[in-house]
Every structure is written in structure tokens, then in C-alpha cells.
């Protein structure tokens, strides 16, 4: 459960509990179940209404689509990113892109582990070259997730229901309104496609690096930084810093 959901959960359920205290406390309303008919009827009604609010409210909290901007400090681990994507998957228009992003997370994680494993077989992890190599892989992954963070924030702002409304109900709105709305949503979609492509490029560089490593029977410690794909990853990281 993320912070927003936790706060909503506490707010809803504390409100229900407070209502029950007010209604049944002897010093306040003082209703009793089993007292006179009116008290019993009102008491049962309050209980039933509280039960309905409890079930419906909690169902809404845990199943409603995400419509708020995802806070950056809520995204710290890979699991946080995966969870945020799965929440946003309720926006049907974005579901195929979200499935692809989830696959990208899985693939880049696996490739990073494989690269590190190969290096550990060829080098002593205490060597400076190995540490530099590993740091480059970590930084490249960080660029991937920085990009993914931007995607998530854009996706949380994307109103999928309105987009579908604009694309299907062509006669309801004026041409001007509809075209301007669709232009906005087209900008969103162009951004999503471009950002996903950028992340796929990082994964491609990992693929090329794996191939380069597998083609070398021996690697000298000083050769790591001179590898073509290592230089490309370093350039990618430096360029990413320029646009922060």
C-alpha cells in the first residue's frame, strides 16, 4: 500500500469508528440496540450504513484508477516502479505500453545481473577497473529508471477515459474542442513512445556489452574502460546528466 492509499484508508475507517462512538455513546446520542423500537431501528441502520461505507470505501481505495501524480519519493526500489505501473494499468489505453515497460524492467534487471556475473568470473571484484565497470552499469540503470519516473508521472496525468470519449464520440463535441483535446493526448502518446524507445536503447547497449564480453576470451584490467560499449554507456550517462 502506498502512502496515499494508507492515508485514505486511515481517514475512512477512523471516520466510521468516530461515527459509531458518537451514535452509541451514552454521553452523546446514547442509542441502544435492544432498547425501544426507534433506538433499535436507528442503531441497526447506522451499523448497516457504516458496513456499506466500509466495504465500498475500502474497495474504491484499493481498486480505483490512479489519477494523481506519483510522488518521486515513493519510487525508491524496483518493486516501487513495478507496483506503480500495475496501478496505472487500469487505464486501458495505456495497458499495452505498461506491459512493455514491465517487460523492460525485467529484461534490464536480468541483463545487469548477467553482466556482473560474467565480470566476477573474469576479475577480482576488489579491482578498481571492476568497480568502475560495475558503477557504470548501476548508473546506466539509474538513467533507465529516471526515464521511467518521467513516464509514470505523465501516465498518472493521462486521462484515459476522456481520451476514449474524444476518439469515439465525434458528434458530441465541436471540432475545435475535440481537435485541441486530441492534440494534447497525442503529445502524451508521442512522449510515451519516445521514452520507451530511449529505455529500449539502454537495454540494447547492455545486449551489445554482453556480446562484447562473450567474444573476449581474456580481458586485461585496463581494457574494460576502453571497450566500445562501455564508452557508449558512459556517454549516455553524461548526456542524461545534462538534461536533469
pLDDT digits (tens, 9 = 90+) for 74-111: 788 999 999 999 999 888 899 999 999 999 999 999 99
- Whether residue 158 contacts residue 69, with contact meaning beta carbons closer than 8 Å, is answered with no
Q: Please, which pLDDT band fits residue 71 given cuts at 50, 70 and 90?
A: low
| HSE, side-chain direction, 13 A CA sphere, residue 129 | 15
How far apart are alpha carbons 191 and 33 in whole angstroms?
Answer: 59
Residue closest to 142 by CA, chosen among 240, 224, 45, 53: 240
Q: What is the pLDDT of residues 21-47, one digit of tens each?
A: 544 555 545 555 555 555 555 555 655
pLDDT greater than 80 at residue 218? no
The three cell numbers locating residue 167: 476518439
**Mean pLDDT, to the nearest integer, of 151-166?**
90
Q: Does the global pTM surpass 0.85?
A: no
What percent of the chain has a predicted confidence (pLDDT) above 90? Answer: 34
| HSE, side-chain direction, 13 A CA sphere, residue 39 | 12
pLDDT greater than 60 at residue 59? no
- Plot region of 123 (φ>0 → left; ψ -120 to 50 → alpha; else → beta): beta
Amino acid at each position: 500500500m502506498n502512502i496515499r492509499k494508507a492515508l485514505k484508508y486511515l481517514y475512512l475507517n477512523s471516520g466510521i469508528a468516530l461515527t459509531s462512538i458518537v451514535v452509541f455513546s451514552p454521553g452523546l446520542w446514547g442509542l441502544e440496540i435492544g432498547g425501544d423500537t426507534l433506538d433499535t431501528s436507528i442503531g441497526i441502520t447506522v451499523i448497516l450504513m457504516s458496513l456499506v461505507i466500509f466495504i465500498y470505501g475500502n474497495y474504491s481505495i484499493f481498486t480505483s484508477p490512479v489519477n494523481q501524480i506519483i510522488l518521486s519519493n515513493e519510487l525508491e526500489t524496483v518493486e516501487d516502479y513495478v507496483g506503480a505501473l500495475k496501478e496505472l494499468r487500469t487505464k486501458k489505453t495505456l495497458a499495452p505500453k505498461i506491459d512493455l515497460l514491465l517487460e523492460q524492467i525485467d529484461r534490464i534487471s536480468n541483463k545487469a545481473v548477467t553482466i556482473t556475473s560474467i565480470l566476477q568470473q573474469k576479475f577480482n571484484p576488489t579491482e578498481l577497473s571492476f568497480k568502475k565497470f560495475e558503477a557504470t552499469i548501476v548508473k546506466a540503470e539509474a538513467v533507465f529508471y529516471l526515464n521511467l519516473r518521467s513516464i509514470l508521472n505523465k501516465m498518472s496525468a493521462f486521462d484515459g477515459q476522456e481520451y476514449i470519449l474524444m476518439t469515439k464520440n465525434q458528434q458530441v463535441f465541436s471540432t475545435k474542442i475535440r481537435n485541441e483535446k486530441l492534440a494534447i493526448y497525442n503529445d502524451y502518446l508521442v512522449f510515451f513512445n519516445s521514452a520507451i524507445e530511449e529505455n529500449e536503447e539502454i537495454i540494447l547497449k547492455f545486449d551489445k556489452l554482453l556480446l562484447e564480453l562473450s567474444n573476449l576470451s581474456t580481458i586485461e584490467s585496463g581494457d574494460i574502460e576502453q571497450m566500445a560499449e562501455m564508452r557508449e554507456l558512459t556517454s549516455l550517462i553524461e548526456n542524461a546528466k545534462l538534461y536533469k
